[in-house]
Structure 1
Amino acid sequence: MMQSRRIDPLLRRAQEHEDTVARELAERQRAHALQESRLDELRRYVDEYASSQMAATSPAQLANRRAFLDRLESAVEQQCRNVDSSRQHLEAERTRLLLASRDKQVLEQLAASYRAQERKVDERRSQRDMDDLGARRVRAAQQASEAEGESH
């Protein structure tokens, strides 16, 4: 009996787990947004640098400029990989939250079902008690009227 009380600690733990995963997801979203903004900054810098008309007066300066652009482009590629990796982690966290949420919902439904059953049992018990009390009052009244009838 009182299965709903036994499920309460499980429900509390499920809620705590869901809250923890939700916080981790929020952190993962912030980290992902940071990775994306770094990528945007890098791309802007590459565009600005590539389109700037720096006077290259010698082949060495042209070579340096080309080498620098190559390094910037490889930094952009690396940052793209970072963003992809970050996106995968973000999706994994979203899935974890979905699962934690589902686990908690199952426990909530189970607890609600147990509580409904317990209420029905309590209502039946109360009804039986009321019926017993009514029957005792009827018997007492009959006995009293019989006793009164005998005394006349």
Structure 2
Amino acid sequence: MVQYKVCVGDPASKKTLKVELSEEQSAALRGKKIGDVVKGDVLGLEGYELEITGGSDNCGFPMRKDVEGTGRKRILAVKGIGLKKNPVKGRRIRKTVAGNTISLRTVQVNMKVKKPGKKPLFEEDKGKEAENAKPEGEGAASQEKQ
């Protein structure tokens, strides 16, 4: 019934891994809060430790760490999650945000690598070699003349 889209950010490589969890795997994340540390085995990343940094619910409202619970709340906020830069100093804006606990309404969960495992998240890019290679196909002759 509930499947989570998990985005795992790797601070070392500055890349993000996107994983879609099945119902059984998503049950392990249910009830966790922002800031909790989770073992990477849930996502199939053996040896990794991941920290939950945020997410969003089924309507796109962002999860906020300082709002307790699983439901949505309308808060008066000056800065932070769910707000753009405030043009007037001290202006408070009422925004709807989701609570800090992963629930059935949660659709996306954001995480970052706290402790890396033995196997790297990303293989080395072979794209640089492909860019330097000569073009092939019908347009190859016209590209070489230029």
Higher percent of residues as strand: 2
The TM-score normalised by the length of structure 1 is 0.17
Greater helix proportion: 1
* Higher radius of gyration, 1 or 2: 1
- How does the TM-score come out when normalised to structure 2? 0.17
